[in-house]
Amino acid sequence: MNKLLSRKNVLKKQTGFTLLEILVALLLGSAILAATINMQIRHRKGFTLSTNQLEMQSNAKFAFEFISQYLRSAGTLGCRNSQSLKGDAETWALPDNCMSAVCLSFNDRTAATADFRPGREVLGYEYTGGGMVPALPGAFSFVAGGYYNTDSDIITVTGGIGEVYGLDEAQSVAIGDTQFQLDMTDIDDVILDQYQYGMLSGCGAAQIFKVTSTNGQISTGLIALAPGGAGDDNNGNGLVGSVESIYVGGLGVSEFRRAAVTTFYVGQNPLNDPNGVPTLYQDVDGVSSQLVEGVEEMHILYGLSDHPTARNVANRYVTADVIAGETTATTNRWEDVVSVRIGLIMRSSDEVYETNQSQTKTLDCVNYTQNPKNDRYSRKTYCTEIAVRNRLLGTRVGNK
């Protein structure tokens, strides 16, 4: 009897878990595993969201800094800084000389890639539902291809960019000259290509023209401005300034640098892909390049100086179409723009939400509300204000 009980006890000790116990253990294990996986997914999505928000902030900062560099130097003409170029804003009458002014050598100053228009060193475009106001130059490739987002503003800045080069003092530059030599001492190369635009300036005047030297000649410092028949070719007058206004040698210092029309706009990357990544592009003289990804919309207000005496202080901020409407044949309001407010709506590069989110972003700084978006991307808004430094000069204070 005792042996039988002992054997039963041994068999009882050797039996495993019951089916119910196994099921309970599996349920508990599954719950713990599911909670762990869910926590990891949430952590990963939170990390992705944080990473994308940091990326949006960094990209917005970079975009603002890049645009600021150009806006603050808008209208830079070497040691001769001027708020407007010589010639009537509407008729483009070519002056006889460049004394105390800036001359344009082009046959047609309205040519898109040579749009150095008087008093429009800063020029904006606003989409009003029926198109951009003022009208965009059709010859720009991004305009002809329709590559820009119409729900964003566009801004153009003109002036000197890049390296500054001195002239060889062993020469004399006179009216009618169609070439001149740079001082190549300690210079290996000139950062400029044939058919780009150049600016020769002294403290008394400046001249903007199309560079016709070959790239080989440019590398040796020879800058030519031969005449041509196209709209943005030179008109054939050579250096149309006076001998005293653009000079070298003992009379003073002249300098040469590249001049350019720089445009900032929002498009898709790739440019011809409607489902691409929204991107801020920079177009220099008709050649576009990707600048900052994630810029979904850019909206701009322009600070106008209406004060009769303190003309370097903005007293109202308006959109580009308002300025265009107030600009007439005798009054150019673009030359009264002294500061610019820019608002950016940034979009994350990755989809960070599990389901579509209805979003409407508002840029209070420029009085703009975005059309509702319904997708899985994250968005942030950023604003800045930039002074047009060359229009905050003492000469713009008072009735001058």
Which range among 120-124, 170-174, 290-294 shows the weakest confidence by mean pLDDT? 170-174
Closest C-alpha among 124, 37, 63 to residue 301: 124
Exposed, middle or buried by CB within 10 Å (0-12, 13-18, 19+), for 357?
middle
For residue 394, what pLDDT band results from cuts at 50, 70 and 90? very low
Segment 154-160 mean pLDDT: 91
Judge whether residue 140 has pLDDT over 60. Answer: yes
Segment 118-123 mean pLDDT: 84
Segment 358-370 mean pLDDT: 94
Q: What is the pTM of this model?
A: 0.81
Closest C-alpha among 77, 157, 160, 165 to residue 386: 157
Cα torsion through 196, 201, 206, 209, rounded to 10: -20
Judge whether residue 238 has pLDDT over 60. Answer: yes
Which range among 25-39, 92-106, 213-227 shows the weakest confidence by mean pLDDT? 92-106
DSSP string, 227-290: B-SSTTSB-S--S-S-TTTS--GGG---EEEEEEEEEEEEEEESTT-TTSEEEEEEEETTEEEE
Sequence-separated (6 or more) residues with CB below 8 Å from residue 227? 178, 233, 234, 235, 236, 237
What confidence tens digit (pLDDT) does each residue in 73-89 have?
887 776 655 444 554 44
The reported pLDDT for the residue numbered 88 is: 46
Per the structure, how many domains does the chain have? Answer: 1
Which range among 189-198, 245-254, 272-281, 303-312 shows the weakest confidence by mean pLDDT? 245-254
Exposed, middle or buried by CB within 10 Å (0-12, 13-18, 19+), for 373?
middle
Highest mean pLDDT among 51-55, 65-69, 101-105, 330-334: 65-69
The reported pLDDT for the residue numbered 400 is: 39
In a domain, 16, yes or no: no
The reported pLDDT for the residue numbered 193 is: 95
The reported pLDDT for the residue numbered 230 is: 87
Judge whether residue 42 has pLDDT over 70. Answer: no
For residue 323, what pLDDT band results from cuts at 50, 70 and 90? very high
In a domain, 390, yes or no: yes
SS3 (DSSP) at 64: helix
For residue 129, what pLDDT band results from cuts at 50, 70 and 90? confident
In a domain, 47, yes or no: no
Segment 223-240 mean pLDDT: 85
In a domain, 26, yes or no: no
SS3 (DSSP) at 54: helix
For residue 398, what pLDDT band results from cuts at 50, 70 and 90? very low
Q: Show the domain range for 363.
A: 52-396
144 vs 395: which has the higher pLDDT: 144
Sequence-separated (6 or more) residues with CB below 8 Å from residue 341? 300, 301, 302, 303, 317, 365, 366, 383, 384, 385, 386
The reported pLDDT for the residue numbered 365 is: 94
For residue 13, what pLDDT band results from cuts at 50, 70 and 90? low
171 vs 300: which has the higher pLDDT: 300
For residue 46, what pLDDT band results from cuts at 50, 70 and 90? low
Judge whether residue 96 has pLDDT over 70. Answer: no
Judge whether residue 53 has pLDDT over 90. Answer: no
In a domain, 275, yes or no: yes
* CA-based torsion, 182, 185, 186, 189: positive or negative: positive
Segment 100-123 mean pLDDT: 78
For residue 286, what pLDDT band results from cuts at 50, 70 and 90? confident
d(CA 118, CA 335): 8
In a domain, 37, yes or no: no
163 vs 83: which has the higher pLDDT: 163
> How many other C-beta atoms are found inside a 10 Å radius of the C-beta of residue 226?
15
φ and ψ at residue 313, rounded to 5 degrees: -120, 125
In a domain, 4, yes or no: no
Mean pLDDT of the chain: 81
Judge whether residue 297 has pLDDT over 80. Answer: yes
% of the chain beyond a pLDDT of 90: 37
Segment 9-17 mean pLDDT: 59
In a domain, 239, yes or no: yes
What confidence tens digit (pLDDT) does each residue in 173-230 have?
776 788 989 989 888 889 999 999 998 887 667 788 999 999 999 999 999 999 998 8
30 vs 326: which has the higher pLDDT: 326
Closest C-alpha among 336, 43, 281, 320 to residue 148: 281
The reported pLDDT for the residue numbered 144 is: 86
